[in-house]
Structure 1
Amino acid sequence: MLSFSPLKPVSLFSSQYNFPHPAYTITTMKKVIRRALILLVALALVLGGAFFALKTLFPDLELTPQTITNITGQIDKISQQNKASKHIISHDTTIRRTTADGQTINLYGKVYAPSNYQRLKLPVMILAHGYNSNADFADSLAPKVAEQGYVVYAFDFYGGSTNSRSGDRDMLDMSIQTEKADLEAVLAHWHQQTYVDTGHIYLTGISHGGLISTMVAAAHPKDVRALILLAPAYNVPDLVKDGYQKLGFTSEDQIPPSVTYENRTIGRRYVLDALHYDPTADQKAYTGPVLIIHGTADELVPYSYSEAAVKNFAHAQLVPLEGTGHTADAQAISSALPQLAAFLLQN
């Protein structure tokens, strides 16, 4: 955080990168289709009581009550998505939360969704922006995701940037814990909507937003279907500890109301919360599916942090973007689209 610059908006689903993407080879597409067929055949056989036949056809498939639930859930999800309009609408939606000291915060956000989304039960993808960014990063990304049958919500963290429409533009009251509370309020809001497939709510975080998404998923594992993380900033605690030492602090009592380090100013609260946070614990706590996409040449959030994280998560996949830094462009990200599409199909 202390040395972050905003991750520039990436257009994973720009007009030139619609699903199915040219990066999909025929072999890849066959694999994805085969997985979908397995889901359909498995459900038919299970409902027909043909357990033995299913195990004979797919001996590597571990058939448990949870497997059956996942299969039926995926088919319901796809069925609803197939009914979604291709006409995408967007509108502002503000989510209110109350802080521990009684302050009311109005989190500004924007919904992107098929025009008939409130008559269906569609999956939801919540987008969490990076440090000193805001929801506008999703303007090109979100409509393309919505075209695939998702309700997409991007919002401004309170104090998340100098342009935050949720408040605290000096960013001095913000910390990883306040942003966690923001995202928890957003997650709770979407779980309360009757037109949402609450079994398929995804947290998608970029950089600092990836760290916050991990914190929330660990605290509410049953409410988060899966994590999709782009260059998650798991190095934040190390950066803060490094700055703490270089600034000569020997006691937390010495930390002033605001701290300037490497041309960035943060509040005392941010420093304290980061000093006492260990991402490893939350990585181990969340046992759901995780997809991490990260540039191997990232100097702001080193790729090694994602390499370590994928070993801590119970079910994680790391997709390297060879030679790409923290500022990712659409061409580099496009190489990860086959894995992203397969991940969403499976989860």
Structure 2
Amino acid sequence: MNEFFIPSDGIRLHAKLDKPEGFTKGPLCILIHGFTGHMEEDHIIAVKDAMLESGVAVLRAEMYGHGKSEGEFKNHTLYKWVTNALSVVSYARTLDFVTDLYLSGHSQGGLLTMLVGGMCADDFKAILPLSPAWMIPEITRDGSILGTSFDPAHIPVSVKSGDWELSGDYIRVAQTIHVEDEIARYNGPVYIVHGDADSVVPYSYAEKAHALYHDCTVVPIHGADHCFEEHLDELKQAIRDFF
């Protein structure tokens, strides 16, 4: 494993690159965490391990204000995440050992995977959104984010829920994004893994994405919650089955 930082629009993104044993040349998957997440969460490690077992190198990266990357969580926005992800993709393009490039992310990272997949459609052999929270732009236009309500026409300075606080700029940015535009721009294979007991992002959003994508497979993990707790072995098997 190599640990380093990737520059992105004036900040440094914490990254780790893992390669399978004996790996010299082959596929690589960029793997991104979720809304309040980081690269060492159990479900991210499970996906990373399954990819390595399948002969795929993995580049984990933490987005603005998350994990050991620079920036404050409160000030992150989807625009900043998109800029960060594009920086990681640009870095991955420079790696001479990569034969095929994949993109995967969990929750908000799954939303990011769907957005960047459309923006860089020629770069990816396939994308793998995991429990993708692609309803975020829709619900912010309706006046809510993760159980917290607000007036969508008069956005507050910040919103709070439990241990986290977000600048109103997060909402302003999210309201402008229409994920369907990027879905339409990506014609490659899409492999969505989603727990059918997910109370954070309803499984119906996986089904809705399946209907919109040109070439999409949805793998339900029966009884699994948003982070696949107690179902990590099934999550790993779903990743191994794809590769």
For the criterion TM > 0.5, the same-fold answer is yes
1:55-204 → structure 2 map (5 Å cutoff): 90-98=1-9, 104-114=10-20, 116-117=22-23, 120-137=24-41, 138-159=44-65, 161=66, 164-169=67-72, 171-197=73-99, 200-204=100-104
Aligned-partner residue type, residue 68 of structure 2: R
Do the aligned partners of 1:204 and 1:213 also contact (CA within 8 Å) in 2? yes
Change (3 A) 1:121 1:269: same
Cα displacement (A) at 1:259: 2.4
Match in the other structure for 2:220: 320
Cα RMSD (Å): 2.3
Contact 2:46–2:235 (8 Å) recurs in 1: no
SS in 2 for 1:259: strand
Q: CA deviation at 1:332?
A: 6.0
Residue from 292, 308, 324 that aligns with 2:192: 292
Q: Structure 1 pair 322/122, CA: closer, same or farther in 2 (3 Å)?
A: same
Partner of 1:343: 242
Partner SS, residue 102 of structure 2? strand
Would the aligned equivalents of 2:193 and 2:235 in 1 still touch at CA under 8 Å? Answer: no
Contact 1:129 1:207 in 2 (8 A): yes
Distance 2:185 2:30 in 1: 20
Q: CA deviation at 1:282?
A: 1.4
For 1:203 and 1:262, how far apart are their aligned partners in 2? 30
> In structure 2, how many angstroms separate the alpha carbons of the residues matched to 1:323 and 1:195?
38
Higher Cα radius of gyration = 1
Q: How many residues align?
A: 238
Summarize the Cα distance change of 1:134–1:287 in structure 2 as closer, same or farther, 3 Å threshold: same
Contact 1:130-1:205 at 8 Å conserved across structures: yes
For 1:129 and 1:311, locate their aligned partners in 2 and report how far apart those are by CA, in whole Å. Answer: 25
Q: How far is 1:167 from its partner?
A: 1.5
TM-aligned CA distance change 1:343 to 1:143, over 3 Å: closer
| Contact 2:47/2:239, CA 8 A, preserved across alignment | no
Q: CA deviation at 1:238?
A: 2.8
Distance 2:164 2:214 in 1: 35
Aligned to 1:301: 201
CA shift, 1:135, in A, is 1.2
Q: Which has the higher strand share?
A: 2
Compared with structure 1, are the counterparts of its residues 149 and 263 closer, same or farther at alpha carbon in structure 2 (3 Å cutoff)?
closer
Say if 2:143 is the partner of 1:240.
no
Q: Percent identity?
A: 25
- Pick which of 208-217 and 241-250 moved more: 241-250
Query: Closer, same or farther in 2 for the Cα pair 1:146/1:323, shift >3 Å?
Result: closer
Does the aligned pair in 1 maintain the 2:11–2:71 contact within 8 Å? no
Cα deviation, 1:301-326, whole Å, max 9, x if unaligned, reads 01111110011110001111222221
Q: Please, which runs of 5 or more residues in structure 2 have no aligned partner?
A: none
Alignment of 1:206-221 (within 5 A): 206-221=106-121
Amino acid at match of 2:69: S
Query: Does the C-alpha gap of structure 1 residues 249 and 312 become closer, same or farther in structure 2, counting only changes over 3 Å?
Result: closer
| 1:319–1:336 Cα contact (<8 Å) kept | no
Render the CA deviation track for 1:26-53: whole Å, top value 9, x for unaligned: xxxxxxxxxxxxxxxxxxxxxxxxxxxx
Distance 1:322 1:146 in 2: 24
Structure 1 residues 264 and 150: alpha-carbon distance in aligned structure 2, compared to 1, 3 A threshold: same
Distance 2:161 2:142 in 1: 10
Secondary structure in 2 matching 1:326: coil
**Structure 1 unaligned spans of 5+:** 1-89, 99-103
Relative to the length of structure 1, the TM-score reads: 0.63
